Amino acid sequence: MSSWIILVIAGLFEVVWALGMKASNGFTHVGWSVFTVLTAVVSFWLLGLAMRGLPVGTAYAIWVGIGAAGVAIFGIIWFGDAATPMRIAGLLLILLGAGLLKAAA
């Protein structure tokens, strides 16, 4: 499987574990806490696999970007976080940065 595909999947798992952490309510709900830890392990493992074929800075930055943008979007949709013009602009800049990093890799 392509390192880029693995990296995208790792980033999606980062979104999932971050949302699981929110659902765990500070790790006070055992089920959500276990879910969070397991999905975090999968995310880190996949990131490590992706780094075999990608530069470390590029892989890490895109992984973080997918996680940050994904969690921000789900925060707006599910948790009622503000969708201000500044926040939307920030999300677009994250996506632009990820695209530039991929083009440079």
Mention every residue, 6+ apart, whose C-beta is less than 8 A from residue 30: none
Q: Say how far apart CA 61 and CA 98 lie, in whole Å.
A: 7
- Give 37's pLDDT tier (boundaries 50, 70, 90): very high
Which residue, among 55, 66, 65, 53, has the nearest Cα to 9 in the 3D structure?
A: 66
Q: Is the pLDDT of residue 77 over 80?
A: yes
- Angle among Cα 77, 100, 64 to the nearest 5 degrees reads 45
Separation between Cα atoms, residue 98 and residue 66, nearest integer Å: 8
Using 50, 70 and 90 to split pLDDT, how confident is the model at 23?
A: very high
Rounded to whole angstroms, how far apart are CA atoms 66 and 46? 14
**What is the value of pTM for the model shown?**
0.89
Q: What is the pLDDT of residue 104?
A: 85
Q: Taking residues 12-32, report their average pLDDT.
A: 96
User: In the predicted model, what is the mean pLDDT of residues 68-91?
Assistant: 94
Mean pLDDT of 63-77: 94
